């Protein structure tokens, strides 16, 4: 790895002399001595690997990962360019195809997920759409869980049928319906667990077993669980997708997505589609996320502790009809959540009494918690799914998903939990005084 970087950098150095004083840092002239006593990176524990996995320093020895904010790369010779295009030479070609900063984040996410390969995309929807469109063709069949992020639902219900793909939705917890839907040849299965916004938990292993019997590739959208709390690949999934916009950036700055799977599937199925349709991540966004991933575990663990505390508070509060939190015993799939997830979630859903008017009064009284449809942020955010993220669904479809007019989705942030509870009390007071 080091030798290819040196080679690339020395190529750039030579090309940049021109009218400038000759500058060839000594470190570019020869390879640094190989350090043979380095511990095996795989022997490090997860928190250490969030800082170090996939790190590839240039010979300058920078502390932080280098940001290669470049659209293209130059070649030493026409022969080298030719070799790069035939695949005989290992050299970056164009950032839509690959970039060292993006590759650095891909390696770190692979390590975190326990996946062989990762492809980063411009957004989370870029990840979901590529993961599906890269594998289906006219005449195929796709089965999806009904409770999906709004745009994922649109891809399955509106876009795929346009290209001649038959799509079937299944109520996530209905195993008989999964069995029925997966009783004929199926190309792909898409599911989300816990689901957005009501935090339904699906039996990933059981669905994967059924799906594999009919030849389907199972794609799991693991945003709500985060790579820390749920390992879909260990539960039998073939592909895992993320909106890195959420917990991975986690500070409301940049958009990004990730698709993870086997080397064969990523390289042979996903990459050709992704590269040729232009769904690639900016190196700048990758660099921002390399910084944020260092604190992923710290943030997600603290946010989850806050979420558990807030869920317990809301469950006892007057005016709150129901609380949905996978880490609470009263969650309908608590036992399953305990089996397949390492911890609850940073999200809590709850239903206030008084329908839409009650929910609006509650949200408008909040002074610390912001109203926003993003999630996974250090800042606490609430949204009213029925009138925002899930407004496009037919009312019957919303009812089926348990998205009532009083339902609120709460993405719990890093603030002091007691300040969050004080703010929720403002909401409760407004609800009571309506």
Compute the least distance from the CB of residue 155 to ligand PLP, in Å.
10
How far is it, in rounded angstroms, from Cα 35 to Cα 283? 29
Contacts with ligand PLP by CB under 6 A: the residue count is 16
Q: Closer CB to ligand PLP, residue 84 or residue 411?
A: 411
Q: For residue 259, give the H/E element and its range.
A: strand 257-261
How far is it, in rounded angstroms, from Cα 400 to Cα 172? 11
Q: Closer CB to ligand PLP, residue 84 or residue 243?
A: 243
Using CB under 6 A as the binding rule, whether residue 135 contacts ligand PLP is answered as no
Coil, strand or helix: which one is 188?
strand
Compute the least distance from the CB of residue 376 to ligand PLP, in Å.
8
The per-residue b/e assignment along 260-273, b for 16 or more CB within 10 angstroms, e otherwise, is: bbeeebbeebbbeb
Q: Closer CB to ligand PLP, residue 255 or residue 412?
A: 255
**Going edge to edge, which strands form the sheet with 347-352?**
320-324, 347-352, 407-411, 381-383, 370-371
β-pairing, 257-261 vs 117-121, is antiparallel
Specify the stretch interacting with ligand PLP by CB under 6 A; choose among 21-29, 100-108, 124-132, 335-343. Answer: 124-132
Compute the least distance from the CB of residue 202 to ligand PLP, in Å.
13
Print the binding letters for residues 280-319 with ligand PLP: x by CB under 6 A, - otherwise.
----------------------------------------
Binding residue for ligand PLP (CB under 6 A) from 54, 227, 257, 385? 257
Task: Say which residues have a Cβ less than 8 Å from residue 115's Cβ, sequence separation at least 6.
Answer: 109, 233, 240, 260, 261, 262
Q: Closer CB to ligand PLP, residue 141 or residue 246?
A: 246
How far is it, in rounded angstroms, from Cα 258 to Cα 58? 25
Residues 209-248 that bind ligand PLP (CB under 6 A): 221, 223, 243, 245-246
CA distances from 153 to 191, 284, 348 (A): 10, 29, 21
Structure tokens at 326: 């996978």
How far is it, in rounded angstroms, from Cα 140 to Cα 137? 6
Compute the least distance from the CB of residue 257 to ligand PLP, in Å.
6
Q: Closer CB to ligand PLP, residue 28 or residue 408?
A: 408
Q: Closer CB to ligand PLP, residue 152 or residue 386?
A: 152
Using CB under 6 A as the binding rule, whether residue 149 contacts ligand PLP is answered as yes
How far is it, in rounded angstroms, from Cα 118 to Cα 111? 10
Residues 151-170 that bind ligand PLP (CB under 6 A): 152
Compute the least distance from the CB of residue 282 to ligand PLP, in Å.
13
Using CB under 6 A as the binding rule, whether residue 255 contacts ligand PLP is answered as yes
Print the binding letters for residues 316-355 with ligand PLP: x by CB under 6 A, - otherwise.
----------------------------------------
Print the binding letters for residues 39-68 with ligand PLP: x by CB under 6 A, - otherwise.
------------------------------
Q: Closer CB to ligand PLP, residue 6 or residue 198?
A: 198
Structure tokens at 338: 């305990």
Check if the beta carbon of residue 371 is closer than 8 Å to that of residue 236: no
Q: Looking at residue 313, what DSSP letter applies? A: H
State phi, psi for 115 to the nearest 5 degrees: -105, 155
Check if the beta carbon of residue 11 is closer than 8 Å to that of residue 75: yes
Binding residue for ligand PLP (CB under 6 A) from 54, 59, 98, 124? 124
Q: Looking at residue 139, what DSSP letter applies? A: T
Q: Closer CB to ligand PLP, residue 28 or residue 255?
A: 255
Q: Closer CB to ligand PLP, residue 6 or residue 349?
A: 349
How far is it, in rounded angstroms, from Cα 236 to Cα 120? 22
How far is it, in rounded angstroms, from Cα 326 to Cα 317? 18
β-pairing, 217-221 vs 239-243, is parallel
Specify the stretch interacting with ligand PLP by CB under 6 A; choose among 50-58, 123-131, 356-364, 399-407. Answer: 123-131
Q: Closer CB to ligand PLP, residue 172 or residue 354?
A: 172
Residues 185-204 that bind ligand PLP (CB under 6 A): 192, 196
Positive or negative: CA dihedral 85, 91, 93, 97: positive
Using CB under 6 A as the binding rule, whether residue 106 contacts ligand PLP is answered as no
Instruction: Using CB under 6 A, list all residues that contact ligand PLP.
Output: 123-125, 128, 149, 152, 192, 196, 221, 223, 243, 245-246, 255, 257, 375
């Amino acid at each position: 790895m080091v030798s290819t970087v040196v080679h690339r950098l020395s190529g750039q150095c030579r090309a940049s002399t021109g009218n400038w004083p000759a500058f060839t840092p000594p470190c570019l002239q020869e390879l640094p001595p190989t350090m043979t006593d380095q511990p095996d990176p795989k022997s490090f524990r997860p928190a250490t690997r969030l800082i170090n996995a996939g790190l590839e320093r240039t010979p300058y020895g920078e502390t932080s990962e280098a940001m290669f904010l470049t659209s293209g790369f130059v070649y030493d010779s026409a022969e080298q360019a030719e070799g790069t295009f035939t695949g005989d030479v290992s050299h970056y070609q164009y950032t839509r195809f690959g970039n060292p900063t993006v590759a650095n984040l891909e390696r770190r996410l692979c390590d975190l997920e326990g996946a062989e390969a990762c492809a980063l995309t411009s957004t989370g929807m870029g990840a979901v759409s590529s993961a599906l469109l890269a594998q289906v063709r006219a005449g195929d069949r796709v089965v999806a869980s009904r409770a999906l992020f709004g745009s994922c639902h649109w891809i399955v219900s509106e876009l795929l049928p346009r290209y001649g793909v038959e799509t079937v939705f299944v109520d996530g917890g209905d195993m008989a319906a999964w069995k029925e839907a997966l009783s004929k040849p199926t190309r792909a299965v898409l599911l989300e667990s816990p689901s957005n916004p009501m935090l339904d938990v699906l039996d990933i292993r059981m669905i994967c077993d059924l799906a594999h019997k009919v030849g389907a590739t199972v794609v799991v959208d693991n945003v709500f669980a985060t790579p820390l709390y749920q390992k879909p690949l260990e539960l039998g999934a073939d592909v895992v997708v993320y909106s890195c916009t959420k917990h991975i950036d986690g500070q409301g700055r940049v958009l990004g997505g990730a698709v993870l799977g086997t080397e064969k599937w990523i390289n042979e199925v996903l990459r050709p589609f992704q590269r040729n349709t232009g769904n690639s991540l900016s190196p700048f966004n990758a660099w921002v996320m390399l910084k944020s991933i260092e604190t992923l575990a710290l943030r997600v663990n603290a946010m989850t502790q806050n979420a558990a505390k807030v869920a317990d508070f809301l469950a006892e509060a007057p005016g709150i009809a129901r609380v949905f939190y996978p880490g609470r015993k009263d969650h309908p799939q608590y036992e399953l959540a305990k089996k397949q997830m390492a911890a609850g979630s940073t999200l809590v859903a709850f239903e206030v009494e008084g329908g839409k008017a009650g929910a609006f009064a509650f949200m408008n009284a909040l002074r610390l918690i912001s109203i926003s449809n993003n999630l996974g942020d250090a800042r606490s955010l609430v949204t009213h799914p029925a009138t925002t993220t899930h407004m496009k669904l037919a009312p019957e479809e919303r009812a089926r998903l348990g998205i009532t007019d009083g339902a609120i989705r709460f993405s719990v942030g890093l603030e002091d939990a007691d300040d969050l509870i004080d703010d929720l009390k403002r909401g409760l007071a407004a609800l009571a005084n309506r």
